[in-house]
C-alpha cells in the first residue's frame, strides 16, 4: 500500500499545473532597471580581458623585477623608478607573452608604442608574432615611438620581442601593443567579442568597478578614480587583492564609456574611506567625500564645471548621465554609518537626483535617508529554490532593494545547468516583486580561464575565444524578455513538499567573538543530562576552546567557530545553557540538528554586527534564514539563558525565558513562474521554471481571451544537471526555440525537467 501523501503527490504529478493569467489586472509596474550587470576587476576581467592591451606589465610597475618579461642571457636588466634599464653584454631579446599569449589576427592593425630613454641614433628591432619592425630613436629622455603594425599571420599564442644588439644601453618606460579594432572603434577601447557578449545581455545598468577592488586590502591600494583618467603611461598601477596588478587602463572614463556603448545606466561604486584592513579617521574624510562629489561632476557636470571640463578634454563634452552611486562595498557597522552619512549628505546637497545605494553589512545605516540597499547572496541551488519567494513579504515601506551580487557557488561546477535553473527560480521572485527589488546583477561577470580567483563566473574567455555558462543564457533570456507591468496570476496543482529539519546533534560556537557557556543540559524523554565534563563530552571543530570546570570558553577571533556535543539519542530534545559574551563583534551561535558541518541549524544571537537574531538553516553548505530575523543585540559581560526545544517538525527558541522564534519547516515548491506585459509589443510574457526531475504538463489559461494559433518561445533544459559549456563547446547548454499552439486562450506545453521556458503571447 502507498501512503496518502505519496498518492497525493503522484496524483498531482499526473495533473497539469494550470497558470491562470489576468492580463488586464495590473499589480504594479516592473522596474525598468531590474536586470543589469556587475563588472569587477577580478579574474583578469579588465587587464587581460575586456581591456585589450596585449603587453603585460607595460609600464614596468608590477615589481622591482621585469615581471612577465623574459630576458635572454647576455642582457643586464634592472627595474628602477618604473623603468627597465637594459644593457646588452651580448645580442639578446626581451620577450613579452602578454596575458597567456597575444591574440594576433592576420591583416588586423595594431599600434605599437614605446617610450624610453635612448642614446644617440638608437635603433631597436621588434617582432610581434612573425611581423617585424625597426624603431629609430633620437637621443633624449622620454622619447616616444608610435608605429602601426599589421599582423602577417594569425595566432592566439603570439608574443612581442624587442631585439637588443650587443653594446646597446637604454631604458624602457612604457611598451604597449594595442589592437586598432575595438568595440565601436573607441580610442583606448574594449575587446569586441567580450563587449558583444554584454550587448546580448541588454543590461539596464552597469555597476563598476567592484566589488573588493573598490576597497582594496589596504587604503593605499583602494580604488581612487582620479588616478585613472590621466594619460595612459602615467596611470597608477595598483596591486589587486585578487592576485595581480591592474594598470587602470580601463579607468573611470572608459567605464562610463562602456555604459554608454551598452546603452546602460552607470552605477559607480565609490570608496567610502574603508578598506579590508584600514579605515580613514573621520577628521581625514574630506578628501574621500570630495572624491564622491567630484566623480558625479566628472560624469554629469557641464563642460564648464571643473571636472566636466576635464571630461570634455578627454573627448566627451556631453554628460555620461551617471544615475546611481553606491557608497562603499560590503562595508558596515558604526564606522560605515558615519562615513555613509558624510558622503550621502555632500552628494545630495549638490546632485539631489543621484540615486544612492547603501551597504547593509552591519544593518541598514542609521541617520540620513537610505534610498536603496545592496544585498548579496552566494549559496547552493537549494537556497535559491527555497528563497524564490523571499521578497514576497518584504516591507514596502523600507528602502528599495538592489540584489547587487548573487550566484549559485556550491555544487555549481564551473557554472553548470542546475546552478542556472536555481538562479532562474530566484529571478522569478525578483521580477514578481520588481516594485521593490528594482535592480539585480549576477556576480562575478568575467573570468580569464587562466586567472580564476572565484568560481563560478558568468562568462569565460582566453586570448581569442569566449563562452557563456548556462547562467549566462538564463540572464540573457530574462533580460531579452523584460516586462513593463506585472499582472495578476494564480496556479493550481503545484505540489509543495515539506522537508523536515535535520536529525542530529547539538553544539555552541561564535563568529569573530569570544564567549563562554555553562550549565549546559540536554533534556530528552523527560530525563535531564548535565554536560559538565567538557573534555570528554565535547568535540571542538575549530576555534580555541578552553575547559574550566563546567565552563566552556572560546577565545579566538575566527569566523564560525564550533564545539559539538554528543548527539542526543532521540530526534526530539531540549537544549538549555547559559551564555556570556566576553568580547568581539557579535554574539552566540547555538547549534541543533547537527548532521555534519554542511547540514545543521543554529540560533544566531547578535549576528550581522550584533544587530539581529535569526535561525539559520544550512543545507549542503548553503545557509538561509528560517523565517525572518528580528532586531536584537547581545551585551558584553552579561549571562543569558538560552533554551531550544527541537524536533524535526518544530523548533522553539527562548532567550531569558521569552520565546523569540517558533518555526516549522517551510514548504519547498520546485515550480516557479512570473507573468507580465511587454507594453511596447502588447505581449504577455510568461516565464516558467521547472525545478523537478520529471516532465510537468502546464496549461497557460487566459480567460476571456479567445486567442488561437501558434506562439513562439524559448526553453533551456539539459538531460544532465551538471552539464557545462566550454571554450570548445560554447553552446552545449543553450536556449532552444519552441512553438506551441494556443486555442481559445489556452496554451498547453510540457515543462522539461530542470528547465526555464519563456513564452510571448500576443494580446491583440
Domains defined for the chain, CATH in brackets: 4-25+671-762 (2.60.40.1180), 69-181 (2.60.120.260), 206-370 (3.20.20.80), 505-663 (2.60.120.560)
Percent of the chain with pLDDT over 90: 78
Cα–Cα distance between 72 and 92 in angstroms, integer?
A: 6
What pLDDT, on the 0 to 100 scale, is given for residue 632? 93
CB atoms within 10 A of CB 376: 16
Pull the grid cell for residue 646.
527541537
Find cell 594598470 and name the residue. Answer: 247
Percent of the chain with pLDDT over 70: 97
**Phi, psi dihedral angles at 211 (to 5 degrees):** 85, 175
- The span from the first CA to the last CA of the chain, in angstroms, equals 51
Cα 356 from chain centre: 19
Element (H, E) at 287: helix 286-300
DSSP 35: B
Relative orientation angle of helices 252-262 and 192-200, to the nearest 10 degrees: 50
Cα–Cα distance between 77 and 306 in angstroms, integer?
A: 43
Give me the residues paired with residue 490 across strands.
Answer: 20
Q: Using CB atoms within 10 A of its CB, is residue 134 exposed (0-12), middle (13-18) or buried (19+)?
A: exposed
Average the pLDDT over 395-418 and give the result: 94
CB atoms within 10 A of CB 76: 13
Element (H, E) at 545: strand 545-548
Distances (CA, A) of 378 to 88, 262, 425, 624, 761: 53, 27, 14, 10, 34
Cα–Cα distance between 143 and 139 in angstroms, integer?
A: 8
Average the pLDDT over 157-170 and give the result: 93
DSSP 366-406: PSS---EEEEEEEE-HHHHHHTTTGGGG--TTS-EEEEEEE
Average the pLDDT over 295-314 and give the result: 97
Contact 257, 208 (CB under 8 A): no
Pull the grid cell for residue 6.
505519496
What pLDDT, on the 0 to 100 scale, is given for residue 535? 65
Buried b (16+ CB within 10 A) or exposed e, 270-307: bbbbbbeeebbeeeebeebbebbbbbbbbbbbeeeeeb
Average the pLDDT over 506-516 and give the result: 95
Pull the grid cell for residue 156.
592566439
Is pLDDT of 4 > 90? Answer: no
Cα 155 from chain centre: 33
Contact 205, 31 (CB under 8 A): no
What pLDDT, on the 0 to 100 scale, is given for residue 2? 42
Find cell 494550470 and name the residue. Answer: 18
Strand-strand pairing, 205-208 and 37-38? parallel
Pull the grid cell for residue 458.
558568468
Average the pLDDT over 136-142 and give the result: 77
Q: Which of 366, 367, 430, 426 lies closest to 402, judged by CA?
A: 430
DSSP 597: T
Average the pLDDT over 124-133 and give the result: 83
Tens-digit pLDDT profile for residues 612-670:
999 998 877 767 788 778 989 999 999 999 999 999 999 999 999 999 999 998 777 79
Cα–Cα distance between 696 and 122 in angstroms, integer?
A: 75
How much is the CA Rg of the chain, to the nearest whole Å? 30
Contact 270, 292 (CB under 8 A): yes
* Residues carrying an active site annotation: 330
Contact 631, 483 (CB under 8 A): no
Q: How confident is the model at residue 6 (pLDDT cuts 50, 70, 90)?
A: very low
**Phi, psi dihedral angles at 431 (to 5 degrees):** -65, -40
What pLDDT, on the 0 to 100 scale, is given for residue 142? 78
Least confident of 41-55, 308-322, 371-385: 371-385
Residues with Cβ < 8 Å from 22, sequence gap 6 or more? 487, 488, 489, 703
What pLDDT, on the 0 to 100 scale, is given for residue 5? 37
In the predicted model, what is the mean pLDDT of the chain?
Answer: 92
Cα–Cα distance between 206 and 262 in angstroms, integer?
A: 9
Contact 429, 390 (CB under 8 A): yes
Least confident of 14-18, 211-215, 403-407, 718-722: 14-18
Alpha-helical runs (H) found in 406-517: 417-432, 470-479
Cα–Cα distance between 470 and 456 in angstroms, integer?
A: 11
Pull the grid cell for residue 45.
576581467
Contact 269, 331 (CB under 8 A): no
Average the pLDDT over 27-40 and give the result: 97
Average the pLDDT over 413-435 and give the result: 97
CB atoms within 10 A of CB 256: 25
Q: Using CB atoms within 10 A of its CB, is residue 559 exposed (0-12), middle (13-18) or buried (19+)?
A: middle
Q: Which of 584, 578, 587, 596 lies closest to 541, judged by CA?
A: 596
Least confident of 141-145, 257-261, 486-490, 533-537: 533-537
Average the pLDDT over 546-550 and give the result: 81
Q: Which of 33, 34, 19 lies closest to 488, judged by CA?
A: 19
Is pLDDT of 494 > 90? Answer: no
**Phi, psi dihedral angles at 478 (to 5 degrees):** -70, -45
Residues with Cβ < 8 Å from 360, sequence gap 6 or more? 332, 373, 374, 375
What pLDDT, on the 0 to 100 scale, is given for residue 534? 61
Cα–Cα distance between 210 and 325 in angstroms, integer?
A: 12
Alpha-helical runs (H) found in 691-738: none
Distances (CA, A) of 32 to 29, 438, 664, 719, 762: 9, 8, 37, 34, 21
Amino acid at each position: 500500500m502507498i501512503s496518502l501523501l505519496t498518492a497525493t503527490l503522484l496524483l498531482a504529478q499526473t495533473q497539469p499545473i494550470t497558470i491562470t493569467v489576468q492580463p488586464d489586472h495590473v499589480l504594479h509596474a516592473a522596474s525598468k532597471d531590474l536586470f543589469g550587470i556587475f563588472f569587477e576587476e577580478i579574474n583578469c576581467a579588465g587587464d587581460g580581458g575586456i581591456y585589450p592591451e596585449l603587453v603585460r606589465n607595460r609600464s614596468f610597475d608590477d615589481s622591482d623585477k621585469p615581471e612577465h618579461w623574459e630576458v635572454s642571457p647576455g642582457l643586464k636588466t634592472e627595474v628602477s623608478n618604473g623603468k627597465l634599464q637594459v644593457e646588452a653584454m651580448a645580442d639578446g631579446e626581451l620577450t613579452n607573452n602578454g596575458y597567456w599569449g597575444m591574440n594576433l589576427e592576420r591583416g588586423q592593425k595594431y599600434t605599437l608604442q614605446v617610450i624610453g630613454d635612448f642614446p644617440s641614433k638608437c635603433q631597436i628591432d621588434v617582432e610581434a608574432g612573425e611581423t617585424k619592425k625597426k624603431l629609430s630613436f633620437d637621443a633624449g629622455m622620454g622619447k616616444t615611438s608610435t608605429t602601426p603594425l599589421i599582423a602577417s599571420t594569425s595566432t592566439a599564442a603570439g608574443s612581442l620581442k624587442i631585439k637588443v644588439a650587443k653594446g646597446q644601453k637604454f631604458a624602457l618606460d612604457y611598451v604597449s601593443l594595442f589592437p586598432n579594432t575595438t568595440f565601436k572603434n573607441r580610442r583606448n577601447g574594449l575587446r569586441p567579442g567580450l563587449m558583444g557578449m554584454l550587448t546580448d545581455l541588454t543590461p539596464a545598468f552597469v555597476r563598476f568597478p567592484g566589488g573588493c577592488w573598490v576597497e582594496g586590502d589596504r587604503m593605499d591600494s583602494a580604488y581612487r578614480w582620479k588616478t585613472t583618467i590621466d594619460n595612459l603611461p602615467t596611470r597608477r598601477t595598483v596591486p589587486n587583492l585578487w592576485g595581480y596588478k591592474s594598470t587602470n587602463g580601463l579607468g573611470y572614463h572608459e567605464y562610463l564609456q562602456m555604459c554608454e556603448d551598452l546603452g546602460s545606466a552607470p552605477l559607480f561604486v565609490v570608496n567610502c574611506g574603508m578598506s579590508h584592513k584600514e579605515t580613514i579617521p573621520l577628521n581625514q574624510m574630506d578628501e574621500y567625500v570630495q572624491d564622491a562629489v567630484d566623480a558625479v561632476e566628472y560624469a554629469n557636470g557641464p563642460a564648464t564645471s571643473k571636472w566636466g571640463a576635464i571630461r570634455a578634454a578627454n573627448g566627451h563634452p556631453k554628460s555620461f548621465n551617471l544615475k546611481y552611486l553606491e557608497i562603499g562595498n560590503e562595508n558596515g557597522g558604526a564606522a560605515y554609518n558615519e562615513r555613509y552619512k558624510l558622503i550621502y549628505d555632500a552628494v545630495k546637497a549638490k546632485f539631489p537626483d543621484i540615486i544612492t545605494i547603501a551597504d547593509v553589512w552591519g544593518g541598514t545605516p542609521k541617520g540620513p535617508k537610505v534610498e536603496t540597499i545592496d544585498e548579496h547572496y552566494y549559496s547552493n541551488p537549494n537556497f535559491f529554490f527555497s528563497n524564490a519567494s523571499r521578497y514576497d513579504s518584504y516591507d514596502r515601506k523600507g528602502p528599495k532593494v538592489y540584489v547587487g551580487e548573487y550566484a549559485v557557488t556550491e555544487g555549481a561546477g564551473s557554472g553548470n545547468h542546475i546552478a542556472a535553473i536555481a538562479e532562474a527560480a530566484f529571478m522569478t521572485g525578483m521580477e514578481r516583486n520588481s516594485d521593490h527589488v528594482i535592480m539585480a546583477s549576477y556576480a562575478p561577470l568575467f573570468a580569464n580561464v587562466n586567472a580564476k580567483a572565484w568560481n563560478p563566473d558568468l562568462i569565460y574567455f582566453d586570448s581569442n575565444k569566449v563562452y557563456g555558462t548556462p547562467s549566462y543564457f538564463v540572464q540573457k533570456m530574462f533580460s531579452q524578455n523584460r516586462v513593463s507591468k506585472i499582472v495578476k496570476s494564480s496556479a493550481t496543482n503545484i505540489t509543495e513538499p515539506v522537508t523536515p529539519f535535520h536529525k542530529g546533534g547539538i553544539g555552541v560556537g561564535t563568529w569573530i567573538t569570544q564567549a563562554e557557556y555553562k550549565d549546559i543540559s540536554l533534556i530528552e524523554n523527560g530525563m535531564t543530562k548535565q554536560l559538565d565534563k567538557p573534555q570528554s563530552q565535547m568535540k571542538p571543530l575549530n576555534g580555541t576552546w578552553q575547559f574550566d570546570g563546567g565552563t566552556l570558553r572560546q577565545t579566538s577571533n575566527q569566523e564560525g567557530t564550533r564545539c559539538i556535543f554528543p548527539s542526543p539519542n532521540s530526534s526530539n530534545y531540549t537544549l538549555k545553557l547559559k551564555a556570556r559574551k566576553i568580547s568581539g563583534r557579535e554574539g552566540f551561535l547555538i547549534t541543533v540538528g547537527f548532521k555534519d558541518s554542511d547540514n545543521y541549524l543554529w540560533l544566531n544571537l547578535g549576528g550581522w554586527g550584533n544587530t539581529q537574531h535569526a535561525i539559520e538553516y544550512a543545507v549542503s553548505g548553503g545557509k538561509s534564514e528560517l523565517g525572518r530575523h528580528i532586531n536584537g543585540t547581545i551585551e558584553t559581560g552579561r549571562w543569558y539563558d538560552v533554551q531550544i526545544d527541537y524536533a524535526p517538525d518544530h523548533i522553539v527558541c527562548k532567550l531569558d525565558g521569552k520565546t523569540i522564534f517558533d518555526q516549522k519547516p517551510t514548504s519547498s515548491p520546485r515550480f516557479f513562474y512570473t507573468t507580465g506585459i511587454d507594453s511596447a509589443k502588447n505581449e504577455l510574457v510568461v516565464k516558467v521554471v521547472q525545478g523537478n526531475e520529471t516532465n510537468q504538463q502546464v496549461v497557460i489559461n487566459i480567460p476571456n481571451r479567445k486567442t488561437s494559433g501558434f506562439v513562439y518561445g524559448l526553453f533551456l533544459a539539459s538531460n544532465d544537471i551538471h552539464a557545462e559549456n566550454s571554450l570548445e563547446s560554447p553552446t552545449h547548454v543553450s536556449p532552444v526555440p519552441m512553438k506551441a499552439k494556443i486555442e481559445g486562450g489556452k496554451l498547453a506545453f510540457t515543462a522539461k525537467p530542470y528547465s526555464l521556458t519563456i513564452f510571448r503571447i500576443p494580446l491583440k
